[in-house]
Amino acid sequence: MKIVAIIPAHLASVRFPNKILFQFHGLPMIEHVRRRALLSGVISDVFVATCDDKIAEAIEGFGGKVIRTANTHTNGTSRIAEAIIQIDCTHVILLQGDEPLLLPRHLEAIADSMQKDPTGNAWNATGPIEYEEELDRHSFVKCAVSPSNRIMYCFRRSPAYSEFKNQQKFIRKILGLIAFEKNFLLEITKLPASIVETFEFIEQMRIVENGFKLTSVPVAPSLPSVNEPAEAEIVLNYIKNNEEQRGLLEQIMKF
């Protein structure tokens, strides 16, 4: 099993334009993600897949590897599918460039799950739901998970009516860490967008709706990402107040 990580990236974010290059402690957000991925020790290499010159120049300026992709992609999955054709590997982990708090041990958990189920199709890191109001917060995706850790369906607002303490037992957050068997990725991206994927803007539903296996990889904690400008300050405070995050920041600043 040869695993690589790819960060799909573009500048045209609707809620936070150019956010991928937003500076945290003197480094673009995406560079934090790239360096943290390299710390995991379970991947062969890290690539950034992009169509934007500014992103490519920034990453290459730090010695990172860039794969140029078309500017017609509507999601990160199709972008990494184009990029992965050029790479010798068996599996690929998609990393979100707007998650600068990425923990290397979460990558290790994904790799461990893949090793235990080498015939699997796709794996998605999931985190616990901590507050009841998160169930109806549409800015991030949730999922219902079976006892065997199979993701049964994904949603933005909870369709369940049971008490919150009960929903916490089977509903988890979808985190920006998803892995694919290489040939499966190339296959799934050729299929038309599924109905729930289209109307709810949930890429994972193409896997579920077509009957393939999407495995939940439980990790903790659920870390904040940067979807809007106000969330950048949340991330900065998290780094400041968390010992593990401070330690990782020290390590990546030494690259």
Q: Going from the N-terminus, what domains does the chain have, and what CATH number goes with each?
A: 3-252 (3.90.550.10)
Q: Which residue has the higher pLDDT, 139 or 37?
A: 37
Does the pLDDT at position 223 exceed 90? no
Share of the chain above pLDDT 70, in %: 100
Predicted confidence band at 74 (pLDDT cuts at 50, 70, 90)?
A: confident
Rounded mean pLDDT of the chain?
94
Q: Contact 160/187 with Cβ under 8 angstroms?
A: no
For residue 224, the model assigns a pLDDT of 85
For residue 13, the model assigns a pLDDT of 79
Grouping H, G, I as helix, E, B as strand and the rest as coil, residue 34 is helix
* 176-186 tens-digit pLDDT: 899 999 999 99
Residue found by looking up tokens 């992009």 in the block? 50
Q: What sign does the dihedral 250-127-74-191 (CA atoms) show? A: positive
Predicted confidence band at 234 (pLDDT cuts at 50, 70, 90)?
A: very high
Cβ neighbours around 24 below 10 Å, total: 17
Single-letter residue type at 74: T
Does the pLDDT at position 20 exceed 80? yes
Distances (CA, A) of 196 to 191, 201, 203: 14, 7, 9
Residue found by looking up tokens 């120049």 in the block? 57
For residue 202, the model assigns a pLDDT of 94
Tokens read off for 148: 């065997």
Does the pLDDT at position 14 exceed 80? no
Q: What is the pTM of this model?
A: 0.93
Predicted confidence band at 12 (pLDDT cuts at 50, 70, 90)?
A: confident
* 153-184 tens-digit pLDDT: 999 999 999 999 999 999 999 998 999 999 99
- Sequence-separated (6 or more) residues with CB below 8 Å from residue 61: none
φ, ψ (nearest 5 deg) of residue 74: -100, -5
* 83-138 tens-digit pLDDT: 999 899 999 999 999 999 999 999 999 999 999 998 899 999 999 999 999 999 88
The alpha carbon torsion through 249, 251, 254, 255 (nearest 10 deg) reads -100
Cβ neighbours around 122 below 10 Å, total: 24
